[in-house]
Structure 1
């Protein structure tokens, strides 16, 4: 049995459980929530307990957050507090244990190079998975690997390491009581904060005041618009691998301006 990280404040808890998950599936989520909580910048549900048994069942017990009504104040606070979380930098890039995006295992390592980490631990595994499943062929394959070979031309090296949520689509935050935003379901690692911001814009985006509040507390660099598609590429590849060719055209749109099929 795994230790309880904090005692429940009430009987209101949330139970997440699943059969035959990947090993350490909930352990990775629990650790990510605790790392975010330790920054003291943005709220997350408290982690009470996680476990897995020999039969492959697993569960995670979290603080239950009563549903609030999202407002402009909630999303403004979300932007401000995410900026404060991102301002707490790490000394290197990556993470010291495997994590998951969906239920896809992500191997990790820690190192001094952001470009190396993003290429080798994020893009390359998704490309290899797509290639093995027949979703990366022809021009798409040539463009993708040309991009990998030249990634340092478009992504600035070592522009600061931040603790990232890692899976910041619009469903991974909730409004709690009192206009308080909470982050949920993280896949944390240390990297370029622009990767978190890029994903918020991929599927519809967050409200404008979220970005205004973020910008006020941690201004975005001038090159954000240039690298945004390259960071969104990772999440599009994940969707390609999970959901199929309906995301293929979006992958191709990202690859086309940056790459060449020559050579």
Structure 2
């Protein structure tokens, strides 16, 4: 830990803050990075470190945060420094501290809807990214159906097959489902800027309950895709959805395709955490095939 303290001190003092370090401690909550809180005479910082990170892992996160920040809708932490050399990666962010409340969640819903009203001409994103620690391929496509099939479902299905996580019968149904997506999914909804991995752990409250988004996997896609994931594991109160729909009402067909969008995230969890998610994947596949 002494060596880690020395490395963190050097990173901060070399690149942007030469003031005295007053305190530092390790913080917990994620399963990908080692994380630390550091307070200097000039400010407080949140630092994420990963040994042998995937290529451009932290640069991808910075790109996502910068993209959200440019919308001037919902807050994200300031990025002070990013470093990756193949052996170690480091991301230094503004420290955010506050309490999640019903009011903060309602404001999150309102601001997320405003962010979703920032749209692109095509679906996708300029850079590849990550969902958790899994590679998340991106490209620009004119069709949302094509994007959801080729850049979201197919990579996860292929990985699950390589890992032997699903029986052949489910793979056959998944392949059939991918050829029939147009029955439930619109080809050209508005291409909204999405956080891409919005569960309850990926937003925080700062001072005065100001909501912040963290750990994005951004791209331009159907806004309903984002809302579907917020419903998958709970954690968002009713006021969040009410505030969202006051700005950006959901389609009457949303409930019909919600689980089809949740399928992607269940496949991600299957690939990250194993066969405990098989039954959930099978239930959704059987609903649509």
TM-score (norm. length: structure 1): 0.93
* 1:190-236: CA deviation from partner (whole Å, max 9, x where unpaired): 00011110000000241000000001011111111111101100000
> Secondary structure at 2:232's aligned position in 1?
coil
* Match of residue 286, structure 2, among 247, 256, 262: 256
Confirm or deny that 1:33 pairs with 2:72: no
> Higher relative CO (CA 8 A, sep ≥ 6), structure 1 or 2?
1
* Match of residue 112, structure 1, among 142, 146, 163: 142
* Match of residue 62, structure 1, among 81, 85, 93: 93
Cα–Cα, structure 1 residues 46 and 212, in superposed 2: closer, same or farther, change >3 Å? same
Aligned length: 252
Deviation at 1:89, TM superposition (A): 0.8
> Secondary structure at 2:120's aligned position in 1?
coil
> 1:177 — aligned with what?
207
Q: Provide the C-alpha distance between the structure 2 equivalents of 1:92 and 1:157, rounded to a whole number of angstroms.
A: 11
Q: Provide the C-alpha distance between the structure 1 equivalents of 2:249 and 2:108, rounded to a whole number of angstroms.
A: 15
> Secondary structure at 1:186's aligned position in 2?
coil
Q: Provide the C-alpha distance between the structure 1 equivalents of 2:148 and 2:16, rounded to a whole number of angstroms.
A: 37
1:127–1:136: 8 Å Cα contact kept in structure 2? no
Q: Which runs of 5+ in 2 are unaligned?
A: 1-14, 18-40
Q: Provide the C-alpha distance between the structure 2 equivalents of 1:27 and 1:126, rounded to a whole number of angstroms.
A: 22
> 2:37 — aligned with what?
none
Deviation at 1:137, TM superposition (A): 2.4
Which range moves more in the overlay, 133-142 or 17-26?
Answer: 133-142
> Which structure 2 residues correspond to residues 1-263 of structure 1 after superposition, within 5 A?
10-54=42-86, 56-66=87-97, 68-259=98-289
Cα–Cα, structure 1 residues 76 and 7, in superposed 2: closer, same or farther, change >3 Å? farther
TM-score (norm. length: structure 2): 0.85
Q: Provide the C-alpha distance between the structure 2 equivalents of 1:214 and 1:204, rounded to a whole number of angstroms.
A: 16
Q: Provide the C-alpha distance between the structure 1 equivalents of 2:163 and 2:240, rounded to a whole number of angstroms.
A: 38
Q: Which has the higher strand share?
A: 2
Deviation at 1:82, TM superposition (A): 0.2
1:119–1:148: 8 Å Cα contact kept in structure 2? yes
Deviation at 1:117, TM superposition (A): 0.5
Q: Which runs of 4+ in 1 moved over 6 A?
A: 6-9
Deviation at 1:10, TM superposition (A): 4.1
Q: Provide the C-alpha distance between the structure 2 equivalents of 1:205 and 1:227, rounded to a whole number of angstroms.
A: 21
> Secondary structure at 2:174's aligned position in 1?
helix
Q: Provide the C-alpha distance between the structure 2 equivalents of 1:64 and 1:74, rounded to a whole number of angstroms.
A: 18
1:13–1:64: 8 Å Cα contact kept in structure 2? yes
> Secondary structure at 2:236's aligned position in 1?
coil
Q: Which runs of 5+ in 1 are unaligned?
A: 1-5
CA RMSD of aligned residues (A): 1.5
> 1:3 — aligned with what?
none
Who wins on radius of gyration, i.e. which is larger? 2
Deviation at 1:125, TM superposition (A): 0.5
Q: Provide the C-alpha distance between the structure 1 equivalents of 2:243 and 2:203, rounded to a whole number of angstroms.
A: 16
